[in-house]
């Protein structure tokens, strides 16, 4: 479990193909590796990866073909910068929101506008996760916990302060950049709860207006 508060900016130094999978080596930058052990989890651009080898200034992790297919790892190369966060401890400050490190989809940066004190970024989300993105709600972008400031269809807007631009990969975004998105897990639980007695039925997860009316969420 993570909080979406990035601890360091790392760099991919090696991508070793192992069949359809990849053995990834990351230079850990200023991330404190003194308490890292084999099997620990490190969120790498928002993807929960397991440490299989490490040193004072690096770690290695295996990235499966499934993860490559559904995340931005398909576009990464040697030299790519990545946001890093170690798994949270019970005593840590909870500065962001609940982040699982399980990416829901890859978004695209539509536009970036510099307003001086902050940068306005519009992101286009995959259509199937747009319903989970809400105005003033939380979303994880490449492992960074952020607040959604505006929503238009499947697109949403973020305000990014200079500190975040400097300390994360967001400072390197350009129009067209691909980003890992993880929606707020609370939204998914609410959707499941709203299915009520139908949750155990082998049907699709779409919630229709008829379903809402039948279960008392709409006035007749």
From CA 68, how far away is CA 106, in angstroms rounded? 11
From CA 195, how far away is CA 167, in angstroms rounded? 41
Residues 69 and 138 grouped into a single domain: no
CATH number at residue 25: 2.40.30.20
Cα→Cα distances 32→35, 48, 56, 99, 123, Å? 7, 17, 8, 20, 31
Kindly state the helix (H) or strand (E) to which residue 118 belongs, with its residue range. none
Structure tokens belonging to residue 201: 């039925």
Question: Using one digit for the tens of pLDDT, what is the confidence trace for 182-197?
Answer: 999 888 888 888 888 7
Structure tokens belonging to residue 12: 């991919």
Residues 202 and 147 grouped into a single domain: no
This prediction has a pTM of: 0.87
pLDDT at 157 over 60: yes
pLDDT at 217: 64
From CA 209, how far away is CA 15, in angstroms rounded? 47
From CA 187, how far away is CA 178, in angstroms rounded? 23
Residue with the bigger pLDDT between 190 and 146: it is 146
pLDDT at 196: 82
Examine residue 70 and state whether it is found in any structural domain, yes or no.
yes
Residues 190 and 165 grouped into a single domain: no
How many other CB atoms are found less than 10 A from the CB of residue 12?
A: 20
User: How would you class 140 by CB atoms within 10 Å of its CB: exposed for 0-12, middle for 13-18, buried for 19 or more?
Assistant: buried
Question: Using one digit for the tens of pLDDT, what is the confidence trace for 161-174?
Answer: 999 999 999 999 99
How does DSSP assign 12-51, residue by residue? Answer: EEEEEEETTEEEEEEE-TT---TT--TT-EEEETTEEEEE
pLDDT at 10: 98
Q: Which of 176, 158, 165, 174 is nearest to 121 (CA)?
A: 158
Residues 29 and 65 grouped into a single domain: yes
pLDDT at 50 over 80: yes
Examine residue 96 and state whether it is found in any structural domain, yes or no.
no
Residues 117 and 170 grouped into a single domain: yes
Mean pLDDT of the chain: 91
Q: What is the mean pLDDT of residues 34-42?
A: 96
Domain region containing 206: 186-220
Q: What is the mean pLDDT of residues 128-156?
A: 96
Residues 122 and 190 grouped into a single domain: no
Categorize the per-residue pLDDT at 89 as very low, low, confident or very high, splitting at 50, 70 and 90: confident
| Percent of the chain topping pLDDT 90 | 75
pLDDT at 84: 98
Residues 145 and 203 grouped into a single domain: no
Residues 24 and 60 grouped into a single domain: yes
User: How would you class 187 by CB atoms within 10 Å of its CB: exposed for 0-12, middle for 13-18, buried for 19 or more?
Assistant: middle
Question: Using one digit for the tens of pLDDT, what is the confidence trace for 109-140?
Answer: 999 999 999 999 999 999 999 999 999 999 99
pLDDT at 14: 97
Q: How many domains does the chain have?
A: 3
pLDDT at 201: 78
pLDDT at 205 over 60: no
pLDDT at 150: 97
């Amino acid at each position: 479990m993570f909080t979406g508060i990035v601890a360091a900016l790392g760099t991919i130094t090696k991508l070793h193909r192992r069949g359809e999978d990849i053995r990834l080596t990351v230079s850990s930058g200023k991330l404190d590796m003194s308490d890292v052990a084999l099997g620990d989890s490190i969120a790498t651009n928002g993807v929960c990866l397991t440490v299989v080898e490490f040193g004072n200034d690096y770690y290695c992790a295996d990235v499966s073909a499934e993860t490559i297919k559904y995340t931005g790892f398909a576009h990464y190369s040697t030299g790519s910068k990545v946001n890093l966060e170690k798994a949270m401890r019970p005593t840590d400050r909870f500065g962001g929101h609940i982040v699982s490190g399980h990416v829901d989809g890859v978004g695209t940066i539509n536009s970036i506008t510099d307003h001086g004190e902050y940068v306005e970024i519009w992101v286009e989300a995959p259509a199937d996760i747009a319903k989970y993105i809400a105005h003033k709600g939380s979303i994880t972008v490449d492992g960074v916990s952020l607040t959604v400031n505006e929503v238009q269809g499947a697109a949403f807007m973020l305000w990014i302060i200079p500190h975040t631009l400097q300390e994360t990969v967001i400072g390197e975004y350009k129009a067209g950049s691909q980003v890992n998105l993880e929606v707020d897990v609370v939204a998914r639980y609410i959707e499941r709860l709203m299915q009520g007695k139908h949750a155990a039925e082998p049907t699709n997860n779409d919630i229709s207006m008829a379903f809402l009316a039948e279960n008392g969420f709409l006035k007749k």
